[in-house]
Copies of this chain bind each other. A is one copy, B any other.
Amino acid sequence: MSQYLNYAIQLAKMVDGQTGINPPVGAVVVNQGRIVGIGAHLQKGDKHAEVQALDMANETAAGGTIYISLEPCSHYGSTPPCVNKIIDFGIKQVVYAVKDTTLTSRGDEILQHAGVKVEFRHKPEAEALYKDFFITKRQGIPEVTVKVSCSLDGKQATDKGESKWITNKSVKNDVFMLRHKHDAVITGTGTLNADNPQYTTRIEEGKHPIRIILSKSGRIDFDLDMFNQSNVPIWIYTEQEKLKSDIEHVEVIHCSNCSLENILKDLYQKGIGRVLVEAGPTITSEFLQSNYTNELILYYAPKMIGGSGDYQFFKTENVFNLSEAPQFEIVNSQVLEQNIKLELRKK
């Protein structure tokens, strides 16, 4: 009966999107056929899931089994190694769903040496939860989701720039949920000037993402609505050394080369684990051509925009051979009240 391992994965999913560059992890301690402790990693720097669950179980942990969505850590990070705590509390068995390929040393041996039985029980559902975490941790860059709302013919706006609102309310709510699950939103000045967006999460208890503006030229209109909202930080990446801002929640970050790689590495260093790209054709196309897009969310409205396609979401200077064109895999498709949502992964 592996429902306990499924419960640990459920707990991990509950905190997915709030752990920054740390993975979302859930843990359940079971003793004599009953749950005696539950835990989840709530935030980078906080207790690990195993520790939460063991603390709740306290002395009833002894002789029990701990089910964890991810292999327990065996190193001193911001907290002591979980394997030590597992041994100290007298746990007799550890079952986990995914091997942490970023660990430099295996905890299994330490546990087994202390007489703890260790079982790795592969769960594809949990693996999917950590796939991007492993990649980004090794590369030192955040997970990137590119979101595009467009017409059936692939345009984000008419040639005149009219784009409000191509997609419907149901899509808007879905985008709010996407923002909630990401640490930051990336956009460009073109979209700012055209739409005057706020990038907030207008749902109950919604977590607003940090707003990141890519502006090589540094031409920013500080009268836009976003700059009057002081509750969420704004970070501007620019090559323009003269750009300054006195606004308290606005930080200007100067880079001599504002490449996606440099910006993403800097964001990861600042603790950003997941970014959502909500931008116009230029930045969207730059991300889709790069190796830094993990996921693409496409919302299609059942409209046909036509025109010359100034705002088609994927525009590139070079012409690909078809065999070299960026290729995606469809993970999921869903109808949201007459709009279509496609979730894709870069192949």
Contacts and interface: CB of A to CB of B under 8 A. Distances in A.
Interface stretch (A6-14, A75-83, A103-111, A263-271): A6-14
Contact of A14 (B7, B18, B201): B7
B40 A35 contact: yes
Interface stretch (A202-210, A222-230, A299-307): A202-210
Most chain B C-beta atoms within 10 Å of own C-beta, residue among A28, A205, A206: A205
A97 to B, nearest CB: 14
A15 interface: yes
Interface string A18-36: 1000000000101011111
A180 B1 contact: yes
Contacts of A34: 18, 42-43, 207
Interface residues of A, number: 35
A332 interface: no
A14 B1 contact: no
Nearest to A56: B52
A65 B52 CA distance: 20
A2 interface: yes
Contacts of A199: none
A19 B205 CA distance: 30
A234 interface: no
Given A10-B10, A14-B7, A56-B52, A1 B38 contact: no
Given A38-B14, A38-B40, A2 B204 contact: yes
A177 interface: yes
A313 interface: no
23 contacts: A1-B180, A1-B203, A1-B204, A1-B205, A2-B204, A7-B14, A10-B10, A14-B35, A15-B35, A18-B33, A18-B34, A32-B207, A33-B207, A34-B42, A34-B43, A35-B40, A35-B42, A36-B42, A37-B42, A38-B39, A38-B40, A52-B56, A65-B205
